[in-house]
Every structure is written in structure tokens, then in C-alpha cells.
Chain A
Amino acid sequence: MNFDLSEEQQLLKDSAWRYGADHGDFTAWRARVERGEAYDAASWRRMADLGWLMLNVPEDDGGLGAGPTETMVVAEAVGRYLMLEPFVSTGVIAPTLLTAATEALRAHLMAGLAEGKLVISLADAEPNGRFDLNRIATRAEAVEGGFRLTGAKSHALDGGAADWFVVPARTAGADDSQDGVSLFLVPAEIEGLTVMRSRAMDNRHNASLKLDGVVVPAENLIGGLGEGFPLLRDAVDRGVVARLAEAVGAMDAVREMTMEYLKTRKQFGQTLGAFQALQHRAVDMAIACEEARSMMYLAMIALSGVPAERRKVIAAAKARVGQTSLYVGRQAVQLHGGVGFTEELAVAHYLKRLIMIDMAFGNADHHRAELAASLRPGAVAA
């Protein structure tokens, strides 16, 4: 039982935090957001130079083949410094999915994402599926030399900036079956694909998709035909844990800001921190951060564990981190008073980021229900 970082992991953490501190100036951040860019291309290239985008690329593909701990360390910095670059979609989820891609595409796409030249987004959600990963009504039918995809995707994280999408589509089975799901690589610029881009409240550029008979070559199929669900699940689990780390990083940062405010802001002739009601709130925020961090560690460790236990712990962690992070984010705004409600302080942006992370890949209620289902007598892991 050990929750310490190795020496190398600690160095990575130091470097990620240093990068964040050097590039995370809030005024510059807001200026970038106001320019309306999905992310900053120069920052993205620097992250590639730091090796962050190679962490989840296997060594055979020229990557670092690092473990979940390294991903967690970087994702925490992403949250702490409100980075907008598509680290989780392209740096964590995509390389996991690409491990089963065909030789023709795998080398090219792995190299492209590792160098910061490509953004690859998973279009995992569907209009009729809400947060259920297995509810896939988008169809793929075999045609001469490839597959034709028809359907709709309601959400693709970082899809607003994507060069490629990974699109789960059904090649067999009922709409909610885990069997018969196939994964396809679809370029953003292709006939029949409509990418509807939107900016989320946290300034991330996402997308929803319409696929109207999009034809892709056979080599764009990832993994076995109809056998894509376990890989999809694995990639999303890894993405979820990375986003939990991002949330924990953001929670700590916004809590620290709030503590600073409580110690400096004066009203009625004393600092806000002198009021017991606010002291107790601050303690509850600190406890929430401790709970969230503990859950995030358990989920990260569970990624290497047995599947049934892994699903249970990750669902519990997604739910608890969601609950505690929204508490911390909302209290941070509350304790800052009026200025906390403005766009001019980072506090508001942390809350908006935390709200979006809770929603990503299913909110707290969804994951609590998944946990409840996994606890039923005779339940099997989804």
C-alpha cells in the first residue's frame, strides 16, 4: 500500500506544475479565450515537446508507454492551471483506442498526436443514449472496400478542434447491446459528415456529429468487427480517471484561492476568516478535497485491477468527485461574494470547468446508479 510518486513521477509533476505556473497567467488565459481559439497551438506544441502527448503511446509506436500515474500527474496540472488543450481526448483516450488500429493508420495517427499535430476526439455519446456508453444506434454497414456510417452523435469532447473522430457504430445487435459495436476512424473533413461545433461554459470546443452515409475505407476499422466495446470501455475509463485528476487539480487550486481570500478580505473590521461560520465552510471544503483526491487515487489504481472491481471503483469515484467538486466550486464562488460571480476572477472559471467535468462521461447521478447496479446481488460488470 503506497500512495507516493516515484522519483521520475515527481519530476514529471514538478515539470508540469512549472509549465503551468509559467504559462498559466490568468490575464493571458482570458485573452486567449476571448480570441475564440479552441486552444493555443503554441502551448499544445510545448506540451508535445514535454512528452505529455506521448505518455499513453506505446513504446513500440515511439511513445513512452507510461502508466496511469503519469497521466494523472499531468491531468492534475491541466486542471490546476485551467489548461484548455485537448489533453484527455487526444493524449489519453485516442492513443488507447489507436492501439487496435490497423498498421496503415496507427503509425501515422500515433505520431501525429504525439507531435501535437493532430487532435483526435471520441464521439461516444448519442441523442438517445444520454450517458450510457453501450446505447449506440449509429449504424455501420459493409460496402465495397469499406463501411458506410449513418447516425448521430450528441457529444464529442474537444470535437470542435478535431482532425479525426473515433466513431462507435453498430454492426450487429440491439441498440443497447455491448456486442456488435465497432469503432471507426473518421476524418473531420469527409463527405456526409456534419460537425456542429460549440463552445462549452468552460471554453472547451466540443462537437456533435451527423453522419449521413459517411463512407470510410476498411482500414479505418479499429479492432475486430463488432468487438469494439471492451476497448471503448477501457479508453473511456482511462479518460474518466484523467478527468478526475483534472478535477482534483482544479479543486485544490480554487480552494487555495478561496483560503487566500478569506485571509485577506476584511469586513466588519476583521478578515472573513475570523468568522466561525466561514471557517467551518472552509474546513468542509478541505475535507471535500481530501475525499476527492482519495477517490481519484483509488480509481487510478483500479485501472490496473480486476474488471469488476475496476468498474465499481471508477463509477464510485466519478460520482464522489463530481459531488465534492461541485460543492467546492460553488462554495468558492459563494465565499468570494460578488467578485466570485464575475468573469474577472479565475474562481468562476474553475466552477464552470468543474461543472463540465462532472457532466463529462456521465454525471454523478449516472455513476451512482452504475455503482448501485454493480452492487446488486448477481450483478456483472458492464
Chain B
Amino acid sequence: MNLDLTPEQSAFRDEVRAFFAENVPESFKSRVRAGMRLEPHEFTQWQKLLHARGWGAPSWPKEYGGTGWDPTKLYIFETEASRADAPVQFHQGLELIGPIIFTFGSPEQKAKYLPAIVSGDDWWCQGYSEPNSGSDLASLSTRAVRDGNEYVINGQKAWTSYAHVANRMFLLARTDPDARKQAGISLFLIDIDTPGVTIRPVVTMDEIHHTNEVFLDNVRVPPSALLGEEGMGWSYGKVLLDRERGVTAATTTRLAQQLRGARKVAAETLVGGRSLLDDPRVADRLAQFELEVMALEGMVMRTMAEATSGQDSGPRASMIKIRWSELLQQITEYWVELQGYDAMAFAPLGPFEAPDAWAAKGMIYSRVTSIYGGSNEIQRNIIARRALGL
């Protein structure tokens, strides 16, 4: 057992480190450190920057425009990104639909869609959840009915993040209402400007417009919009399970950023001339986060090492998602506590001198991380059922 890098991996780390040192825009850093998402145009800017370097799709195979890196290299890449306050790439195209397209899509779909995901020219949004189908996604009721040489889609999607900036959407719709719950569901790839698609913004509690409701009203699409086979849409998601390890690793390595941010505030906040770091209560709280993050990083390292040598990691990716979201919330909450009154300046109303005010927004935003992508309660249900056999 060791944490050693091979000479090739060390050289790769140096190369990645040098790239990040020069290319992460200064204006991103304070928001990234607070665990916030960038603005859509900034995500695209970052994606294009990575693409220009040949690193647009770090987790994809080479034949689809990816880097072909093994999980250890991917881990090195993300660790270095974290170190440099670089953002996480926007994942809906790269991680949620891209791999399904390159695994199950037709040659035409691959050629049409994959390059634009890697280059950042296309923005995909995910039409899965519905007002009455949240955690119980398979109960969704959006319908797609074959009408001559078209499908006609009707329904309503909820929590469609970035539908307002996306040009494409992947969505699940029921093509066979009589089949068993999951079996009647198909996956469609549509253009967002197709007539009948209406987007209503939903502003979230961080006062940012990330997400939307999407109304699908007699949306007519050609049969080529269907991915794979009718009724198989649900099953295609399984391909993502195996990739989850990489996604959680990418996000989890970023906890070091939030810890750095909180520690910096503690170090720089003076009470009667003494730094908050001199207060044992503060030092203890920070050390507690430090050691929990270290344990989680250890879990990520083991997972990536196993993925590199083709071993199964069981439910560890779900466990990491749970612990990452819990820690992100706790660390950003504490960061805000450390800021004290500085955190009250949520939105300056004119010239206002406040140090790094993003922590409060980051803290509020972090509430969604234990809800999205399968809430932590659902994650625990899944682990209990699949891994523990309960």
C-alpha cells in the first residue's frame, strides 16, 4: 500500500498544475472556493479553455473526444483543480447524457451531439423530474405518443436546471402507459427551441436563477430524437452508476477549497487583536472538519485506485456523495459563522467594503446538494437495499 505516483503520473501532475496555475480566471476563484456554481457563460468559457488544451472531457474515452485518462489520472487532475481554485466542469452534458449517447446512441446521434458537448458549444439540460415525480422518478407521467412519423410529447418537467441557457434537452417520457412502471419509459434528445417547449424560471433560495419548470405542449419531434429503443430509457441510466465514482471524486476534492476559505477567515478575523485561530473552540471545530475531510479523501483515493485496477467499490460512491454534501453544508455554515457580521452583507446596496461575501451564498446553495441527484435519504435507501441487503 502506498500513495506514490509513478514517474509518468508525477509528470502529469506537474503538467496539470502548471496549466491550472496559468489558466484559472482570477474572477472565478472566490466563488469556487465558496462552493458556488459559476455563471453559465463562465462555465462555457471554462469548458472551451479545457477543450482547447485537449482536456474537454477528462472522463471520456479517446474515441469520443475524451482524454482516455484512467481514474488515477482523473483523480490527480481534480485534486490539482481543487488546489488551484478551479471550478468543476458543468456535468449535465459531460456526465449525465454524453456517456449514454456514446454507449447507446446511433452513429448519427454520436456524430451530431458528442463533439459539441466536449467543445462547450452545446448546453444540455435534464428533463427528468416532474412536479409529482421527485424521488419516485419512475412514476413520471409525461407522455410521448407516436403520431405518424413523429412523437408528440406532452407533460411538465420540474427542476430543469439551466433550461433557460440550454439549446438541448434530454428527457424521459412514457411511451407505453400499460407497461410496468420503469418499462414504459423512453429517452428523447430534443432541441430546446422546438415549438411547444415553454420555460418558466424558478429562482432558488440563493437568489440565483439556476432552475426552471418546463412545459411540453404538443412538442413534435422526429423518431431520430429517440435514443436507443422505445421503453428502454430507464435502463440506460445504469451506465452512469459505474461512472459515479469519477463524478463524486471531482466534487469531493473541492471540499479542500471550502476548508481553505473558512480557515482563511478564521486566521484573518481579529478580536481584540487576536486571531480567531487562537480560540481553541474555533481551532477544534476547524480540526474536526479537517479530519472528516481527510477521511473522505481517503475514501475517494481508495475508490479511484480500485477503479483504476478494475475492482468494484460497492456503494462507496453513494457514501461519498452523502458525506460530501453533509460536510459542504457544515463547513460553509461554519464559514458564515466565522464571518459574523460580514456575512450579513448578502447584497451590497451601493459601494460597500466587505471581504469575500460569497460564503453566505455558498452556504445557502449547499442546501440543495443533499437533495439533488437522489436525496441523501434516497441514497441511504439504495445503499441499504443494494449493498447491505436490507
Partners in one complex: yes
Contact code string A1-19 (vs B, CB < 8 Å = 1, else 0): 1111100000000000000
| Residue among A263, A276, A316 with max Cβ neighbours from chain B (10 Å) | A316
Cβ of B270 under 8 Å from chain A: no
Cβ of B240 under 8 Å from chain A: no
| Residue among B5, B316, B323, B380 with max Cβ neighbours from chain A (10 Å) | B380
Does B1 lie within 8 Å of A372, measured CB to CB? Answer: no
Contact code string A277-317 (vs B, CB < 8 Å = 1, else 0): 01110111011001110110110110010000000010011
Does B384 lie within 8 Å of A263, measured CB to CB? Answer: no
Given A279-B380, A316-B294, A372-B283, answer yes or no on A286-B2 (Cβ-Cβ < 8 Å). Answer: no
C-alpha spacing A68/B85, complex, angstroms: 35
Cβ of A377 under 8 Å from chain B: yes
Does B301 lie within 8 Å of A1, measured CB to CB? Answer: yes
Does B287 lie within 8 Å of A369, measured CB to CB? Answer: yes
Cβ of A259 under 8 Å from chain B: yes
C-alpha spacing A373/B308, complex, angstroms: 36
Does B286 lie within 8 Å of A372, measured CB to CB? Answer: yes
Given A291-B296, A375-B286, A376-B277, answer yes or no on A3-B305 (Cβ-Cβ < 8 Å). Answer: yes
C-alpha spacing A259/B298, complex, angstroms: 25
SS of B interface (majority)? helix
Cβ of B271 under 8 Å from chain A: no
Does A4 lie within 8 Å of B283, measured CB to CB? Answer: no
Cβ of A368 under 8 Å from chain B: yes
Cβ of A262 under 8 Å from chain B: yes
**Of the residues A5, A263, A282, A290, contact of B1 by C-beta under 8 Å:** A5
Cβ of A21 under 8 Å from chain B: no
Does B295 lie within 8 Å of A294, measured CB to CB? Answer: yes
Contacts of A368 in B (CB 8 A): 284, 287-288, 291
Cβ of A319 under 8 Å from chain B: yes
**In B295-324, which residues have CB < 8 Å from any A CB?**
295-299, 301-302, 304-306, 308-309, 315-316, 319, 322-323
Contacts of A280 in B (CB 8 A): 377, 380-381, 384
C-alpha spacing A301/B381, complex, angstroms: 34
Count of B interface residues, CB-CB < 8 Å: 47
Residue of B nearest to A5 (CB): B1
**Of the residues B296, B298, B389, contact of A263 by C-beta under 8 Å:** B389
| Residue among A1, A263, A286, A373 with max Cβ neighbours from chain B (10 Å) | A1
Contacts of B319 in A (CB 8 A): 283, 286-287, 290
C-alpha spacing A368/B281, complex, angstroms: 11
**In B1-15, which residues have CB < 8 Å from any A CB?**
1-5
C-alpha spacing A316/B294, complex, angstroms: 8
Contact code string A118-158 (vs B, CB < 8 Å = 1, else 0): 00000000000000000000000000000000000000000
Given A1-B304, A300-B1, answer yes or no on A276-B292 (Cβ-Cβ < 8 Å). Answer: no
Cβ of A273 under 8 Å from chain B: yes
C-alpha spacing A313/B385, complex, angstroms: 34
Does B298 lie within 8 Å of A369, measured CB to CB? Answer: no
Does B3 lie within 8 Å of A371, measured CB to CB? Answer: no
Min CB distance A147 to B, Å, is 38
Min CB distance B319 to A, Å, is 5
Contacts of A292 in B (CB 8 A): 295
Cβ of A69 under 8 Å from chain B: yes
**In A238-285, which residues have CB < 8 Å from any B CB?**
259, 262-263, 273-274, 276, 278-280, 282-284
Cβ of A320 under 8 Å from chain B: yes
Contact code string A182-205 (vs B, CB < 8 Å = 1, else 0): 000000000000000000000000
C-alpha spacing A3/B304, complex, angstroms: 10
Cβ of B244 under 8 Å from chain A: no
Contact code string A353-378 (vs B, CB < 8 Å = 1, else 0): 00000000000000011011101110
Does A3 lie within 8 Å of B291, measured CB to CB? Answer: no
C-alpha spacing A88/B185, complex, angstroms: 58
**In A87-125, which residues have CB < 8 Å from any B CB?**
none
Does A276 lie within 8 Å of B5, measured CB to CB? Answer: no
**In A198-240, which residues have CB < 8 Å from any B CB?**
none
C-alpha spacing A201/B90, complex, angstroms: 53
Does B2 lie within 8 Å of A4, measured CB to CB? Answer: no
Contacts of A294 in B (CB 8 A): 295-299, 301-302
Does B287 lie within 8 Å of A298, measured CB to CB? Answer: no
Contact code string A36-54 (vs B, CB < 8 Å = 1, else 0): 0000000000000000000
**In B369-390, which residues have CB < 8 Å from any A CB?**
377, 380-381, 383-385, 387-390
Min CB distance B115 to A, Å, is 32
Given A3-B1, A262-B390, A283-B383, answer yes or no on A297-B305 (Cβ-Cβ < 8 Å). Answer: no
Min CB distance B74 to A, Å, is 12
Cβ of B290 under 8 Å from chain A: yes
Does A274 lie within 8 Å of B390, measured CB to CB? Answer: yes
Min CB distance A72 to B, Å, is 8
Contacts of A376 in B (CB 8 A): 277, 283
C-alpha spacing A69/B377, complex, angstroms: 36
**In B315-339, which residues have CB < 8 Å from any A CB?**
315-316, 319, 322-323
C-alpha spacing A4/B301, complex, angstroms: 12
C-alpha spacing A44/B65, complex, angstroms: 60
| Residue among B287, B295, B322 with max Cβ neighbours from chain A (10 Å) | B295
Does B295 lie within 8 Å of A295, measured CB to CB? Answer: yes
Residue of A nearest to B6 (CB): A1
Contacts of A274 in B (CB 8 A): 390
Min CB distance A371 to B, Å, is 5
Cβ of B18 under 8 Å from chain A: no
C-alpha spacing A284/B318, complex, angstroms: 12
C-alpha spacing A316/B292, complex, angstroms: 8
Residue of B nearest to A259 (CB): B388
Contacts of A287 in B (CB 8 A): 319, 322-323
Given A319-B291, A377-B267, answer yes or no on A290-B390 (Cβ-Cβ < 8 Å). Answer: no
Min CB distance B13 to A, Å, is 11
Contacts of A319 in B (CB 8 A): 287, 291
Residue of B nearest to A291 (CB): B295
Does A297 lie within 8 Å of B388, measured CB to CB? Answer: no
Given A280-B384, A283-B384, A301-B3, answer yes or no on A375-B390 (Cβ-Cβ < 8 Å). Answer: no
Cβ of B89 under 8 Å from chain A: no
Contacts of A3 in B (CB 8 A): 1, 301-302, 305-306
Residues of B within 8 A of A (CB): 1-5, 72, 75, 263, 267, 277, 280, 283-284, 286-288, 290-292, 294-299, 301-302, 304-306, 308-309, 315-316, 319, 322-323, 377, 380-381, 383-385, 387-390
- Contacts A273-B388, A280-B377, A304-B2 aside, 4 further interface pairs with beta carbons under 8 A come to A2-B1, A317-B294, A319-B287, A320-B295
Top-7 shortest CB links A-B:
A294-B298, A372-B287, A279-B384, A372-B283, A316-B291, A273-B390, A291-B295
In the assembled complex, 17 residue pairs joining A and B whose CB atoms fall closer than 8 Å, in A order, are A4-B309, A273-B384, A282-B388, A286-B319, A286-B383, A287-B322, A291-B296, A295-B295, A301-B1, A301-B3, A304-B2, A316-B290, A317-B294, A368-B287, A371-B287, A375-B263, A375-B286
